[in-house]
Amino acid sequence: MLAADLLVAQNIGFGIIALLMIVGALRVVTVNNVVHAALWLVVVLSGAAAQYLLLSAEFVAITQVLVYVGAVMVLFLFGTMLTRARIGAENDLNNKNWKIAIPVSLLMLGV
């Protein structure tokens, strides 16, 4: 009887984590801010690690947290914050160097 109750609880936990991962994945692609999308991706990747724990794959879960949630997401957020574009309207977006750009791009096309 105890094993059956444990399986039911494990299935309920699996469903809750899967639902949180689906909501997080939908928020990743629908949110406007890139940093918020990265944070929602952390939720999805953490949910994947929790699913691995429910499947008794502890090493894979720890690797998921260390590699993806820890390293990749920190690198992604660091790169996003470093390459942040200026906020506000640009006055002159037309670059006047097209006379130089055409021969250079034709040269690169030939290479």
Structural domain count, the chain: 1
Cβ proximity of 60 and 52 under 8 Å: yes
Does 105 map to a domain? no
In order of 64, 76, 87, the CA distances from 45 in angstroms are 7, 14, 30
Whether residue 96 is contained in a domain is answered as no
CATH number of the domain at 31, please: 1.20.120.1200
Provide mean pLDDT across the span 20-38. Answer: 91
Kindly report which listed range (1-5, 41-45, 49-53, 105-109) carries the lowest average pLDDT score. 1-5
- Whether the CB-CB separation of 45 and 64 falls below 8 Å is answered with yes
User: Does residue 71 belong to any structural domain of this protein?
Assistant: yes
DSSP alpha helices (H): ranges in the chain? 2-30, 34-54, 58-63, 73-82, 98-110
Domain that holds residue 58: 2-84
Answer whether residue 62 is part of any domain: yes
Residue at 15 is within a domain:
yes
Q: pLDDT tens, 52-73?
A: 999 999 999 999 999 988 888 8
pLDDT at 98: 79
Residue 76 lies in a domain: yes
